[in-house]
Amino acid sequence: MSGEPQTSGYVLAVAGLRAEARIVARLPRTKAVAGGGDVAQLERLIEQAIADDCRGIISFGMAGALRGELRPGACLIGREVVHESETYRADTAWAARLQAKLRGAELVGIAGVDRPLVTQSQKQALFEATGAAAVDMESHVAARLAAKRGLPLASLRAVADPQERGLPAAALAGMRADGTTDVAAVLRSVGRDPAQIPQLVRIVADAGRAYYALLRCHRRLGPGLGLFDLG
């Protein structure tokens, strides 16, 4: 990363959900895009948001745990992002700054996937293949485009989904590629199988813990999510 003072520009935050993007969009010198679940669309959104004064890209949002001891609300900082045969290293100085400001946040590997992991066995297989602590559907897209543009990369994720839990059909039905939730689709799925309700309630509660963890993080980091503190 350049040692020149960062006196202008902005950081681009890449999220899966619009609610996650709204958290960081409030910060000065920060822009955000949201679009989990559709790689091609997310790539287009990132490319459109990158201008000459973009100084770095950060993957920001919730993640699923691949290690059993990670509980909802735990904050994780990416040391690298792994996707299939590729590994993208985070900017060392930026990651260190995040860890210094977010005491208790662990520096870990993060895996990127193009489709949701539905079962515990899928999570276990990905952990064994990559050694990553957590997984999401945006970090690898952000990492690939940061590498393409020669921009510093960071990842900040909060655990919403513990390793031992699978995803019910209703949760999958509600995912939209634009980062919003299809409530009608969720209700239709629940109508067909009401037994999903207790699991959905736990998912909503744990997502709330992750969301508030992200809120705490962004308040501590300030403009540019820690990048501009480096000088």
Contact 152, 6 (CB under 8 A): no
Tell me the HSE value of 8 on the side-chain side, using a 13 A CA sphere.
3
Could you give the CA distance from residue 208 to residue 206 in angstroms, rounded to a whole number? 5
Place of tokens 């508030």: 212
Domain boundaries, the chain: 10-225
Give the DSSP H/E element, type plus range, for residue 15: strand 10-15
* Distance from the Cα of residue 54 to its chain's centroid: 19
Using pLDDT thresholds of 50, 70 and 90, give the confidence band for residue 174.
Answer: confident
For residue 142, which of 10, 23, 45, 4 has the smallest C-alpha distance? Answer: 45
Could you give the CA distance from residue 65 to residue 158 in angstroms, rounded to a whole number? 9
For residue 117, which of 133, 94, 135 has the smallest C-alpha distance? Answer: 135
The whole-number pLDDT of residue 1 equals 46
Contact 156, 58 (CB under 8 A): yes
Contact 111, 132 (CB under 8 A): yes
* Structure confidence by residue, pLDDT tens digits, 25-35: 889 999 999 98
* Structure confidence by residue, pLDDT tens digits, 109-161: 999 999 999 999 999 999 999 999 999 999 999 999 999 999 999 999 999 99
Bridge partners, residue 60, by sequence: 156
pTM for the whole thing?
0.92
Q: Domain 10-225 maps to which CATH number in 3.40.50.1580, 3.40.1010.10, 3.20.20.300, 3.30.310.50?
A: 3.40.50.1580
